[in-house]
Structure 1
Amino acid sequence: MMKIVITLALVLATVNCTKVQQCKGLPVPLDVRIKDCDEPPCVVYRGSIAVMEVHFLGNNNNINSITATTTAKVLGMNQPYDLPDEVSDVCRNLMYGAICPIDKDEDVTYQFNFYVETWFPEITADVTVKLNDAQNEPITCFVVSCKIRKGATASQRDEYLLDWTNPGAI
């Protein structure tokens, strides 16, 4: 009976996943959910927050620190994008009661809230998100195509306000 419940939960969890690409030679997350995007390219608006959930497995035992990094491939060039500490610190943004350290093969979900700068040009970019442990070893990595568009209206921005009292809410 428990196997049926677990299998059903996994099937339901993958229904609303966003299709992402694997980084060459690196582990891919179990799934990624980008708000309002099942099929890339995902439309993101300047001056708003792209909300993502990254469900992944630990690659070693006792991972005490995980850092998220991002790059955007624009016109064939990879441009790094520095994340604020409160976003890049994966352990601080784990969902569903998970905490660091995490162990090998422990599945956890990271809430990644990516602020889309107002100065970004209106283009399509391949965004790479990589999670590394304290030794800078990759835990997981994915690439997703994003269409950056003109800033959202005030009513659209209200939809993206975050409820910091409930980090699991999207």
Structure 2
Amino acid sequence: MIRLIIALCGFVALVNGQSTPVSRCTAFAGELPIHAYIEGCDTPPCVVRHDTNAVVHLVFRAPHNIRRMRTLASAQMLTMFPHDLKENAETCNFLNNGFCPVMAGEVLSYTLKMYIETIFPPITVNIEFRIVDDDNIPFMCLRVPVRVRTALNTREGLNGTIIDLE
């Protein structure tokens, strides 16, 4: 019964939710997710800004029983550069409709946040996100181009003068 409810939630997310086209990974193994949506991105390359979180919503199926999952990210420039997701790498902590351990065939909804650091160069790169199991074997992987941009300056364009009236 619980599997039916979880599968129904995943189906509703697919039908009602927005989606972002993603590709199969080229550097790492793993199946594509059932559904992927990167907030603010309907058509890649997805624009991400320094000092913000890129938020990725995923629906995927567990291929086998898994006690612990981790999410890994790598950016492809000339070679693959790993990016430490820190506490956001603990996939089980960010499941929206379940918890670990998960059973084979379970459909899971997951939200990943990746902080876009200011050290990232403002260029377009391919990012590969993969989820690995207890044995560090990737079972889900997606690739998406992202365009890194500097942070929005909310004060930009204001031509005011501040006067001290004391």
Confirm or deny: 8 A CA contact 2:131 2:139 kept in the other structure.
yes
**How many residue pairs align between the two structures?**
146
User: Over aligned residues, Cα RMSD in angstroms?
Assistant: 2.0
The runs of 5 or more residues in structure 2 that have no matched partner are: 156-166
Q: CA deviation at 1:152?
A: 2.3
Counterpart-to-counterpart distance in 1, 2:11 and 2:92: 28
Matches within 5 A, 1:26-105: 26-61=30-65, 63-74=66-77, 76-84=78-86, 86-96=87-97, 98-105=98-105
Confirm or deny: 8 A CA contact 1:57 1:139 kept in the other structure.
no
> Structure 1 pair 132/35, CA: closer, same or farther in 2 (3 Å)?
same
> Structure 1 pair 11/50, CA: closer, same or farther in 2 (3 Å)?
closer
1:9-60, CA deviations, whole angstroms, 9 ceiling, x for partnerless residues?
Answer: 26524x5111000124521111111001011000000111111111111011
Runs (4+) off by over 2 Å: 6-11, 152-155
Letter of the 1:117 partner, please give it. E
TM-score (norm 1): 0.79
TM-score (norm 2): 0.81
Match of 1:38, SS? coil
Confirm or deny: 8 A CA contact 1:64 1:134 kept in the other structure.
yes
Query: Which residue pairs with 1:135 in the alignment?
Result: 135
